[in-house]
Chain A
Amino acid sequence: MKNENLYNYILGIADNSLILGQRLGELTGHGPSLETDIACTNMSLDLFGQVRSYYQYAAKLKGGDATEDTIAFLRKERDYVNVLLVEQPDRDFAYTMARQFLFDVYHLLFLQELQKSHDITLTAIAKKSIKEVSYHQRFSTDWIKRLGDGTTVSHDKMQEAIDSLWTYTDELFHQTAADKAMVAEGIGVDVTALKVKYYSLVNAVLEEATLKIPESKWFQKGGKKGIHTEHFGYILSNMQYMQLAYPNMEW
C-alpha cells in the first residue's frame, strides 16, 4: 500500500472511537436512568458517525475490496490499535463517566490540533467532530463533578473509577511509528505535546470535584501496538458475530 503510514494513522484515531462507541452502545437499555441512557447512546452514535468517515477514507487508501465495514469488523484482535482506556468495561456509571471524561479531554485536544493538518479530509472530519466531542466533554465533566462532589458513596465510587483508569491515561501520549511519520509530513498531531495541557485540565476538574489526583507513576500500555487487555476479545466477538455468522451480510 502506498500510503501505509497514513492508513495506519487513521486507524490509530478511529479505533479509539469505534471501541468507545461500542462500549457506550452496550449500555443501551441499561443506563442508570432513561435520560442518561439516551445520552450515552447519543455519544455512541456521534462516535460511530466519526468512525465511518475515518474508515471510508482508510478504505479508499487501501483500495481493492476494502470498505468501511471490512475495516471496522473484519480485522484480527492484534490489528486493532485503540488505546487500552477505551476498552475498559462499564463496571458502574462512575466508571463509564470516568472513562469518558479521561478520553474526552484528550479527544478534544487532539481534534483541535488535527484541524490544522495538511490533509484536507482529516481536517474536515476534525472540524465536524469537534462540536460533538465538546458536548461529550461537557457531559462527562459534569458527571465527574456531580459524583465526585456528591454523596460519600458517589464520591468513593468516582474516586475508585479514576484510580483504576488512571493507569491507562499515559498511553494516549505515546507516539507510534505512523504517528512519527505523519507528524513529519505535517499531517499528524504530535500527541506528546498534548500531555501537559491534558493533565492540567484533568487535574483541575478532579480538584473541583473534590477527588484526589492519583499519584501512581506506573502506567499500562500496549493497545496502540495491538496488545490488548483481556476485555478486548469479548468486545470483538460481540462486534464481529454478525459478520462471521453471515459473511458479507448487509443490514
Chain B
Amino acid sequence: MSLALLKEHYTNKNIIMSTKNWPLWEVFVRSKNGLEHRHFGSLHAADAEMALENARDVYTRRNEGVSIWVVESKDITASNPEHNGELFEPAQDKVYRHPTFYDLPDDVKYM
C-alpha cells in the first residue's frame, strides 16, 4: 500500500470513527410540578428522541421526575471561566445589591 493510500485509509477511518460517537446531550428534569427543571447530567444519544428515552432510563428510573428536557450540549453557550474576574468579581464588594437591609416578616418563606 502506497503512503498516499495509507494516509487516505486512516483519514477515512477517522471520519468513520468520529461519526460513530453519538453527540452529547444535557438532561434537565422537573422533579415535581411547580418546581423548575434542574440539570441532572448528560448522556449520549443519536437524536433528541433517543436522548429522551435514554434520559428516562438513566435519570428517572426511581421516580425522580414528571418532565424531562434534553438539549444538545453543543447548543449551550457557556461563559468562559477565564472571564470570571470581569464577569462576577465586581459584584462582590457591592453589598447594597443584596436585599439584606430590611426585616422580613417571619411569615414570608422561601426568600
Contact = CB atoms under 8 A, between A and B. Distances in A.
A32 B45 CA distance: 12
Contacts, number: 29
A35 B49 contact: no
Given A33-B22, A42-B61, A146 B54 contact: no
A25 to B, nearest CB: 15
For chain B, give the interface size range: 10 to 19
Given A139-B53, A142-B49, A35 B61 contact: no
Contact of B57 (A39, A142, A146): A39
B50 interface: yes
Contact of B43 (A35, A135, A139, A142): A35
Contacts of A35: 43-45, 54, 57-58
Interface majority SS on A: helix, strand, loop or mixed?
A: helix
B57 A38 contact: yes
Given A35-B44, A35-B45, A42 B50 contact: no
Interface residues of A, number: 12
A34 B58 CA distance: 9
Among B43, B45, B53, find the residue whose CB has the most chain A CB atoms closer than 10 A. B53
Interface of B: 22, 43-46, 49-50, 53-54, 56-58, 61
Interface of A: 33-36, 38-39, 42, 135, 138-139, 142, 146
